[in-house]
Amino acid sequence: MTLATLLSAEQIIPEMQATERWSAITELVDLLVTQERIAPEDRRNVLDALQEREHTMSTGIGLGIAIPHASSDKVSNVVAAFGRSKNGIEFGALDHAPVRFVVLFVVPKDQFQIHLRTLAAIAKFLNDRSVRERLASAEAAQDILEVFDAPGR
């Protein structure tokens, strides 16, 4: 599973408003609600699941990347959103650096293997410096999506 298969341009925020972890997570969940990927009545439950995971350990993994994720019985398929912050978001990252790229995803509760594979694929993809550079310089949501769709170009 790749980000290109999980995202559309409408699930990308080229410049996030959030300046800290919880508002960033909320901003991306609200986008998924707006895009009808999460039902409005399930918003709180999904936010709680993400917050519970985040309290275990920050999903700010370093290199300006955060991957907030959770499993929930409120989704039937993997849902994801991507946000970029040129100024950086205080995320409590492992390297204490501000986060510039946030990939949020929620997996159905009974799909643990998909959860692990999705997390590993996203982390590996974003670990590539050239990918991060192209994401940073992309102009609009469609340009960001093209980076996800063609990582080698």
CA distances 7 to 57, 65, 67, 90, Å, are: 25, 17, 14, 24
CA distances 52 to 31, 112, 135, Å, are: 20, 16, 29
How far apart (Å, rounded) are the C-alpha atoms in residues 103 and 70? 12
How far apart (Å, rounded) are the C-alpha atoms in residues 58 and 26? 15
How far apart (Å, rounded) are the C-alpha atoms in residues 75 and 128? 30
Whether 103 contacts 80, CB under 8 Å: yes
How far apart (Å, rounded) are the C-alpha atoms in residues 7 and 77? 13
69 labelled catalytic: yes
**What is the set of active-site residues?**
69
